[in-house]
Amino acid sequence: MSVVRIVERDRRDVLGEGPLWSARDNALYWTDILSHRLNRLSLDSGVVRSWEFDEYLGWAVEREKGGFVLGLGRRFVRFDPETGVTRAIAAPEPDRFGNRINDAKADPQGRIWAGTMSINCEDPTGSFYRLDTDGTATRVDGPYTIANGPAIAADGSFLLHTDTSLATIFRFDINDDGSLGPRTPFVTFEPEWGNPDGMTFDAEGGLWVACWGGGCVTRFSPEGVRERSIALPASQITSCTFAGPALDRMFVTSASDGVDEPQGGALFEVDPGCRGLTTQYYRG
């Protein structure tokens, strides 16, 4: 049984999401979407620092040139944590006022793949976008009700993305021009598993999935076979990532929104028994 550690801090997240390991800072970053907050846990000191924004904050991806790209509201923006300054890159859905950006990852080519979704989690108005290094945002798939993931293969040849409302993880080949191949089901969740939320690959090609409503993170084999789960003391598990210099530590985010649970919204650390992949930068 894996030991579960609860990271000590003075608050719980309403909707914790988007954990990101920064080797550059020796820190874990993650967001609280509904509280408009970016958090940073220093692995050197254990201190948690936060930045607050005026809009929903879906995720943060490191820029190779320094700072971050954020999924803020319905926009992609650059963010300098030293000055607090944000600068717009692209706004792919300027007229979809009922949507927000939800989840994203960078790929080995330095691009960002990000999904959007309806704020009410009910309308199929979301899409999947690719943000190229020149700042161009291109719609590559849709519609989505609750776009989540993605997880990108180590060689950048394919990615996995999910619509949590459909309880299905989909697989897409990534073509040389950045377009996607056909959407094909990779894993369909059984009702007792919860629903697939954020996810990440390990170095062996296994897929780790945060199980919303299932109270665990689950590993699937490269072929999509459910292998094992790590139980957590909260039901709404949202995402996970590998961290630490050896990429052998796993941090897991959760949500307290809509539940009365002592550890809902906590940040957890577990021992996954394997290593993860290097965090990719946005190269724009």
What sign does the dihedral 98-186-21-76 (CA atoms) show? negative
The number of distinct structural domains making up the chain is: 1
Whether residue 283 is contained in a domain is answered as no
78 is in an annotated binding site: no
CATH number of residue 26's parent domain:
2.120.10.30
Whether residue 58 is contained in a domain is answered as yes
Q: Which domain holds residue 170?
A: 4-270
Question: What pLDDT digit, counting tens, does each position of 84-127 carry?
Answer: 999 999 999 999 999 999 999 999 999 999 999 999 999 999 99
Whole-number pLDDT of residue 90: 97
Whether residue 153 is contained in a domain is answered as yes
Whether residue 284 is contained in a domain is answered as no
17 is in an annotated binding site: yes
Sheet holding 27-32, edge to edge: 16-22, 27-32, 37-42, 48-52
Whether residue 77 is contained in a domain is answered as yes
Question: What pLDDT digit, counting tens, does each position of 199-223 carry?
Answer: 999 999 999 999 999 999 999 999 9
Residue 49 has pLDDT above 80, yes or no: yes
Whether residue 256 is contained in a domain is answered as yes
Distance CA(243)–CA(159), nearest Å, equals 21
Question: What pLDDT digit, counting tens, does each position of 142-189 carry?
Answer: 999 999 999 999 999 999 999 999 999 999 999 999 999 999 999 999
Question: What pLDDT digit, counting tens, does each position of 224-271 carry?
Answer: 999 999 999 999 999 999 999 999 999 999 999 999 999 999 999 999
Question: What pLDDT digit, counting tens, does each position of 12-22 carry?
Answer: 999 999 999 99
2 pLDDT band, cuts 50/70/90, is: confident
Question: What pLDDT digit, counting tens, does each position of 58-83 carry?
Answer: 999 999 999 999 999 999 999 999 99
N residues, the chain: 284
197 is in an annotated binding site: yes
Whole-number pLDDT of residue 1: 63
Whether 244 and 274 have beta carbons less than 8 Å apart is answered as no
Whether residue 275 is contained in a domain is answered as no
Whether residue 281 is contained in a domain is answered as no
103 is in an annotated binding site: no
13 catalytic residue (yes or no): no
Catalytic residue among 13, 32, 107, 197: 197
